[in-house]
């Protein structure tokens, strides 16, 4: 849902000025997939990889603005099946291990040894999975709205937990599904999002996306409609991943956290995040010596929540300042 974040609430005054990419790439990663990759900021700056949410959300120009373009070399890419990557909405050879391999392909293609990982929601999941698989190529993690890809988290959002706070919106999400199938909303939507009829896929994509989008912004109204192509790609990819437990072993990211225990991390977590409740961020941070968990008051899930935006920009600016101070001491 990060692709729509700028429409949920306006926090642009705290962001860095918009910057156009200095380079764009279409990288063939095999399996019929070609990824859109862009680089912004300083070509000789500190590398930072931005991992978008969803799965299926795609990156947007809004995401470039959390970084001082004079200091950072910012790399953004659309994951398999979404955004400007091709083919659109494809779930063929589209799993978490495939995405981890894609990140490694991008890193090598761009000649980067180690980079900072910046991701929220599903982007935080993927940042953790990549870092645990390749700890030697990460310099640290900046995470927002932590999602660990567990059954409990999916049950919270699609099994009625969040519905206790939003019964009207949950009823709207359930409405297209026959009552006999509502015990498994992920499965019920899967049957329709992967129907042979593209028109039927499109009809069920909107309510899937809007249920999540409606809960993302704490302080303002959510987007009520999304472009059909975007909604279809988002819904199909997200449902595909959630139907398969995010292609992770249950509890894998916490189990393997020891592999990144030496890395610094900052978690920016909305105190009232209804999409990814703070319990996951808290569990991740416990016992991680270099992890700084920042629970942001009066804030939900969206990247563009005013306090979330301000905190993330402050984090990236503080890392920039530390880099400059370290260089000055040499």
Residue 127: how many other CB atoms lie within 10 Å: 28
Q: Which of 16, 137, 240, 301 is an active site residue?
A: 301
For the question of residue 134 being annotated catalytic, the response is: no
Q: Would you state the torsion angle of the CA atoms of residues 205, 211, 214, 217, taken in this order, to the nearest 10 degrees?
A: -100
Q: Quick one: which of 185, 147, 191 has its CA closest to 163?
A: 185
Scanning the structure block, which residue is given the tokens 């490694």? 104
**CA distance linking residue 201 with residue 208, whole number of Å:** 11
Which backbone phi and psi does 22 adopt, to 5 degrees?
-90, -10
Which backbone phi and psi does 221 adopt, to 5 degrees?
-70, 145
Which backbone phi and psi does 173 adopt, to 5 degrees?
-65, -40
For the question of residue 90 being annotated catalytic, the response is: no
Half-sphere exposure of 18 (CA within 13 A, CB side): 5
Residue 236: how many other CB atoms lie within 10 Å: 27
**CA distance linking residue 209 with residue 230, whole number of Å:** 10
For the question of residue 280 being annotated catalytic, the response is: no
Q: Which of 137, 273, 299, 304 is an active site residue?
A: 273
**CA distance linking residue 63 with residue 320, whole number of Å:** 17
Q: Which of 121, 280, 299, 304 is an active site residue?
A: 121
Q: Quick one: which of 56, 35, 6, 2 has its CA closest to 235?
A: 56
Residues with a known catalytic role: 121, 273, 301
């Amino acid at each position: 849902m990060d692709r729509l974040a700028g429409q949920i609430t306006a926090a642009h005054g705290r962001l860095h000025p918009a910057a156009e990419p200095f380079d764009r790439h279409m990288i063939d990663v095999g399996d019929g997939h070609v990824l859109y990759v862009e680089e912004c900021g300083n070509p000789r700056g500190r590398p930072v990889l931005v991992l978008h949410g969803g799965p299926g959300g795609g990156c947007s120009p809004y995401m470039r603005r959390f970084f001082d373009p004079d200091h950072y070399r910012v790399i953004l890419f659309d994951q398999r099946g979404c955004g400007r990557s091709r083919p659109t909405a494809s779930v063929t050879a589209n799993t978490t291990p495939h995405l981890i391999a894609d990140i490694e392909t991008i890193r090598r293609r761009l000649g980067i040894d180690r980079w900072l990982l910046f991701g929220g929601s599903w982007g935080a999941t993927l940042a953790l999975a990549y870092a645990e698989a390749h700890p030697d190529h990460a310099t640290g993690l900046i995470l927002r709205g932590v999602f660990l890809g567990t059954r409990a988290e999916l049950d919270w959002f699609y099994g009625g937990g969040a519905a206790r706070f939003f019964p009207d919106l949950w009823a709207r999400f359930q409405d297209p599904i026959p009552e006999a199938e509502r015990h498994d909303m992920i499965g019920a939507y899967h049957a329709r999002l992967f129907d042979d009829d593209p028109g039927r896929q499109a009809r069920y994509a909107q309510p899937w996306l809007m249920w999540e989008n409606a809960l993302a912004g704490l302080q303002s109204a959510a987007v009520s409609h999304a472009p059909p192509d975007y909604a279809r790609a988002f819904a199909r990819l997200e449902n595909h991943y959630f139907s398969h437990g995010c292609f992770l072993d249950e509890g894998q990211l916490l189990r393997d956290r020891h592999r990144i225990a030496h890395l610094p991390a900052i978690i920016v977590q909305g105190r009232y995040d209804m999409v990814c409740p703070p319990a996951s961020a808290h569990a991740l941070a416990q016992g991680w010596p270099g992890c700084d968990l920042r629970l942001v008051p009066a804030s939900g899930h969206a990247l563009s929540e005013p306090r979330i935006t301000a905190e993330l920009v402050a984090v990236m600016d503080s890392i920039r300042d530390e880099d400059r101070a370290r260089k000055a001491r040499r």
